Structure 1
């Protein structure tokens, strides 16, 4: 009996130490979800980058889920089991905050427990028309048939808000279509709608993967800086540029447009395991930030590892905020302490190179 008991204990100890030697991953791994956006949009690629470069090194199995967009993401983060992270547009988040302030109980119940991890990047707002459309600028879309995006998407929020700001009224019901990005472009080409509004970070996969022949049938409207509608839109949105370099085989010149900020959002969790996992996520986010910028979607190059001040009704998630601030401070201290590398011209003799040395490639050796 004693031998049997000792053998069993030995087996348990062996199992324990083998798990520990492997890094304790069997006990430490968490299985979380992040809600993003449409399958050919930028959000889902950002989610995939977070899963690969941040969650995985932190011991978190992060499943990336597509969605209609920001408003749906808020709801799923709040109420769907397993969803711990979401990507949300700033105007959608602010709309919930404003409705809660105005006394909408449901909006308050939804938004008050949500917390920000950090701001990400600006998303461009595309106003797409057929190439043969007489419209040239965004302020000309009044009374046109417009797809503003799926109900529950951030695109729909941005499109309807911009229209209301510019023209002082909502889009007439008979002129509104709630189509996905792909369906909106198809409807545009076959002349079922006049304008498709799409929100996506450039370069947007929706356009880069599009059939070149179809791509030549559409174009973007521009912001007219002198239009009164433009001045009114500036109350909420910021000027941006769709760069020709983002779509080099299509655009011939840059296109001025509007932009909206994307945020990484979570919930005000207080369970010890969840708090610990999200702290590890924050540490990994800071430690692997350079990988995101060098290996991830081009939009990561626009993200700054910083936590700026927030407006009323917006709050960071304290456990993550503390970890990120500490890591940001360490990175700043290291950069300050690091001696500046000498320029190529200073590497030879400590003096500027002569023209002859440059011609003979003798600088920097």
Structure 2
């Protein structure tokens, strides 16, 4: 009897040891439902987290500022997408003595930079405005409170004109509501920060799409020179919106980052390290099958400005990945380089075999 009990116990132990472990459930906070961030999150969930044994739930949000708060305080949120100007604004406020900003941002860490998001400054088709420098004193939708768009629009306006947007001129509308208000002549300008090509524009009714257009950045304007203290020149390509744009439109961009928390628990460190290994191993899948913005992303860890820090466990794995890729490229290059031919022998010269 005792032997049978022991045998049964051993069978159960063996079965449990070979049982497939349940995937870990994590969350990533992204952006609006028809924005680029949520698609990037979906790509990470499918092509990176899944192979790493992580069930990554993709959560919609208002945008970057809300993501910082949720990354810091919401249970289960282990990853977030955050614009560089929003991240820097938190650091600046923390350094200026804002305790809440310090509490939110100082424990956060970067995994890696992703891509540039274009600043779309939209007006009605019949608007007399032509460039960014002409939006001063106009009524503007700058995005929802808590969104990265709101931070970018506010920062951009202040850089260009040396003042805040007058309170009576500001409306905090979602991207969709902002375009509707623009067409209905309730605002003069809608500022929308989103990576191209954006579903927001490509999913619009063609008749409505023809009622709006984009303002250009004037490279010669002093307002542009001041804006370039924080933002960088870029182009919104006509090929991104073939049913809308007839030509490329010069604009400005802000960088998107993948962010986490400075976790120290062994289990979380291990899982995020596996996430980093999977990111390296499956990066080609992201670029081939994911949102077109992945083609602009490189697995690289550039030097950071003061106050920004990489998450050390993931940084270690990604740097190992970079070293391995570099070694593989060097080895392939050496193999592909033809070895110099030895000098001709007297016999080869006689037989006219030397070239």
Per-residue deviation, 1:7: 4.6
Separation in 1 of the partners of 2:310 and 2:210? 44
Give the structure 2 partner of residue 320 of structure 1.
Answer: 314
Separation in 2 of the partners of 1:109 and 1:10? 50
Does residue 162 of the first structure (1) align with residue 171 of the second (2)?
Answer: no
SS in 2 for 1:276: helix
Query: Of 329, 338, 341, which residue of structure 1 is paired with 2:332?
Result: 338
Query: Of 255, 258, 266, which residue of structure 2 is paired with 1:272?
Result: 266
SS in 1 for 2:38: helix
Query: Of 43, 64, 70, which residue of structure 1 is paired with 2:64?
Result: 70
Alignment deviations for residues 133-178 of structure 1 (CA, whole Å, 9 cap, x no partner): 0101111001111000000000000000000111111001110000
CA RMSD of superposed structures (Å): 1.6
Give the structure 2 partner of residue 297 of structure 1.
Answer: 291
Per-residue deviation, 1:339: 4.3
Give the structure 2 partner of residue 193 of structure 1.
Answer: 187
Q: What aligned pairs does 1:168-183 form with structure 2 within 5 A after superposition?
A: 168-183=162-177
Does residue 18 of the first structure (1) align with residue 18 of the second (2)?
Answer: yes
SS in 2 for 1:108: helix
Per-residue deviation, 1:98: 0.4
Per-residue deviation, 1:11: 3.7
Per the normalisation by structure 1, the TM-score is 0.90
Per-residue deviation, 1:341: 9.6
Give the structure 1 partner of residue 6 of structure 2.
Answer: 6
Separation in 1 of the partners of 2:120 and 2:131? 12
Per the normalisation by structure 2, the TM-score is 0.93
Alignment deviations for residues 30-55 of structure 1 (CA, whole Å, 9 cap, x no partner): 10000000000000000000000000
Per-residue deviation, 1:3: 4.5
Alignment deviations for residues 172-211 of structure 1 (CA, whole Å, 9 cap, x no partner): 1110000000000000001011100000000011001111
Query: Of 211, 214, 217, which residue of structure 2 is paired with 1:220?
Result: 214
Separation in 2 of the partners of 1:169 and 1:4? 83
Alignment deviations for residues 266-312 of structure 1 (CA, whole Å, 9 cap, x no partner): 00000010000000000000010111011100000000110000000
In structure 1, the gaps of 5 or more residues are 343-365
Separation in 2 of the partners of 1:221 and 1:273? 49
Give the structure 1 partner of residue 347 of structure 2.
Answer: none
Give the structure 2 partner of residue 258 of structure 1.
Answer: 252
Query: Of 225, 228, 237, which residue of structure 1 is paired with 2:231?
Result: 237
Separation in 2 of the partners of 1:14 and 1:323? 33
Which of 231-240 and 85-94 deviates more?
Answer: 231-240
Separation in 2 of the partners of 1:140 and 1:210? 26
SS in 1 for 2:324: helix
SS in 2 for 1:142: coil
Separation in 2 of the partners of 1:103 and 1:128? 36
Does residue 43 of the first structure (1) align with residue 1 of the second (2)?
Answer: no
Does residue 146 of the first structure (1) align with residue 145 of the second (2)?
Answer: no
Separation in 1 of the partners of 2:301 and 2:143? 30
Alignment deviations for residues 62-101 of structure 1 (CA, whole Å, 9 cap, x no partner): 0000000000000000000000000000000000000111
Per-residue deviation, 1:12: 1.5
- The number of residue pairs the alignment matches comes to 338
SS in 2 for 1:262: strand
